[in-house]
Structure 1
Amino acid sequence: MSSKELRVNTRIKATPVRLIGDDGQQLGIVPINEALDKARDVELDLVEVSPNSRPPVCRILDYGKFKYEQAKKEKIARKRQHSYQMKEMRFRPKIDDHDYNFKCKHVREFLESGSKVRAYVMFRGRELAYTERGRELLLRVAEDMVNIAVVDVEIKREGRNMSMILGPNAETLKRLKESTRTASPKEAETVEVAEKPEADAESSEEETPVETEATNTGSE
């Protein structure tokens, strides 16, 4: 439970409560007034850490220090979540070398930032008759990224899309971890590329990478 939701000291109305001392020792089930007195005796706070238990569990601790530690844990959790965000890169079956290299450049940047990448081919109209081109294209991407990535989810087709998921390999993650120890906050930022409005889907092959903020860990 977040520290923002916890009841502290006289805001705790339940009685009796199961009390845990500031040293972690179980002090048994006691009336709330007795629990408050014990907290005051050691100049600490009484915090209801498990309100849904029967009886509720309260602990004697330094609430200010507790909130600080909780905030640190939440910050670390958010940072870990960010590092596993899923990026997406869309390809068209009839893609020229310039567009292909442009997109692969960003796939590489995403992988080197620690993110997974869902690379997919979108088929439109008559292109559905040539889905094998999409498979060949995705295999080409996987081969071009073989030095920094592994295929987490194999190529599969879903409706008009054919996709696979690439994840950074162990060596890439090791380099990333080592570099972030010495990099400045600006240098450690993940590359983000804004999506352009799609002009003419049939005539324009120039597309910018698509980026999604999902916490996918490898499954669709």
Structure 2
Amino acid sequence: MAFSARTSVRFVLVLLSAPRPLALRTAIAARPLPPLSPLRAHSEGACRRMGSPPLAMAPPRRSRPMQKPPPRDDTPRNEGIQFDMVRVVIDVPGGSDELLGVMSKVDALSAARDRDLDLVLIGAKSDPPVCKIVSYDKFRFVKEKKKKEQQKAVKGQELKELKMSYKIGEHDYDVRKRAAEKFLGQGNKVKFSILFKGREITHANVGQQVMTRMAASLDEIGTVDSPPKVMGRQMIMTVSPKKMPGK
């Protein structure tokens, strides 16, 4: 009887240590799962088991575009100035710059520090180089402002073309002239062109006279950039607006 008990225990241990049969593993896998928590019930797999369509996934979050760093100003200033002798001017609020004279960089730096200002190089190619005693923040602000104004002026300027004939009549001439005055008044350049067809190119001298007359008519508000010239079968002249005093 004892032998049978030991045999039974040994047999049970063998069964426990042996790998589970495929049928047993399948049965275990097929056992009903415990109820899901409300949080897990929203997952895609849980929705499939519950017979409902999976919830739409949120679109991937877009990364913000990298902002351009502000432009770096490499204007030499203070100890970064590499010249021993400099000509120094000082910024005068509301007036023109005041000349302090030619001095060593050490003395110029001392003069700037006495005024709680910076020494900024503004004319490296001059002899001696020119430095200005000024607040560097103010200097950079004025410099950036001028740069933006120049870019705005170039961007806002357009090239307007007006076509004429070498045998243009007085009425058509006046129409072109008034249009040119309007464009120049708006700050735009004006391109005049005369097209010669066939043997009309032999009358290029007459076209030259028309262009010269138009340039003279616009002399008070326009400046001729390029005088009349023939390019192929076309004569071209470009006029830019004059800068008026006080503008």
TM range (shorter): 0.3 to 0.5
> Which fold has the larger relative contact order, with Cα–Cα distance below 8 Å and residues 6 or more apart in sequence?
1
Specify the structure having the higher radius of gyration (Cα): 2
State TM-score, norm by structure 1.
Answer: 0.46
State TM-score, norm by structure 2.
Answer: 0.42
